[in-house]
Amino acid sequence: DDTIDTIPLAFLYIFQGTGGDPVIDFSNICSQWDDPVFSGTALANCQSAMEADIKLCQSKGKAITLSLGGATGQVGFSSDSQAQSFATQVWNLFLGGSSSTRPFGTAILDGLDLDIESGTPAHYAAFVSQIRSLAAPTGKQYLITAAPQCPYPDAYIGAALNEADFDAVYVQFYNNYCGLDQPSDYNFATWDNWAKTTSFNKNVKVYIGAPGSPAAAGTGYVDVSTLAQYAAQAQTNYSSFGGVMMWDADTAYSTLSVW
């Protein structure tokens, strides 16, 4: 499918779990509840369930990233040093580092997405900067994105967006007053202005985050023709426009017959 170029895997939802390792839950694909875990941890071993699929998608030109946080995330840092240590741990488990407990085996993910919706907002810039530092010597371009909610500035990741190098933001235009179903309050222009004037990376791209079906979010769903109009308008009027993000793949595909 040439219309899809990036697939974030959701979620790594606990930063400090059993044994000091993070916890991942990919719903019916792989989780600590249905799959083996590494000894002394609650970190699922998803190698048999996901390694080959990740590599196949990458061979087709898709970037596979890991999304951290989510609505039920147990996340946050108490200091820059803790954030940097966690970044190194994530690097070794999922990205270009090495560990005996890599959940996807030899598959190397293409980046990270920060969907931070709880905890304290501090120290995420240090986390991102550490990932960038670890990636620099490898020569591989790792994608770092965030998924802020549409009210500006975002309460949890807003500060980091101004202090660290993000490639894109997948703005959640749903479950808020500024959602796609509220055209008078829809605020892509605000995020475009942020991208050009306030963001750390002045070339950062802004995506329209949309629910894949009415069931995917409490509010904000619009049909595909309306969403296409939003995208066309953003592409015409805002140079920061990067594309559309759907939450999530399962619900989006469930509405294909409607589209």
Distance (Å, rounded) from C-alpha 84 to C-alpha 87?
5
CA-CA distances (angstroms) from residue 106 to 27, 49, 51, 92? 22, 13, 7, 11
Distance (Å, rounded) from C-alpha 208 to C-alpha 245?
6
Question: Which is catalytic among the residues 113, 115, 117, 154?
Answer: 117
Q: Give the count of beta carbons closer than 10 Å to the beta carbon of residue 144.
A: 20
What backbone phi and psi angles, to 5 degrees, belong to 232? Answer: -65, -40
Is residue 183 within 8 A of residue 148, CB to CB? The reply is no
Which residue from 96, 109, 120 is spatially nearest to 26, judged by alpha carbons? 109
117 is catalytic: yes
What is the 3-class SS of 145-175, one letter each residue? EECCECCCCCCCCHHHHHHCCCCEEEEECCC
Calculate the CA 185 to chain-centre distance. 24
Distance (Å, rounded) from C-alpha 207 to C-alpha 240?
8
Distance (Å, rounded) from C-alpha 240 to C-alpha 120?
28
Query: Residues with catalytic annotation?
Result: 117
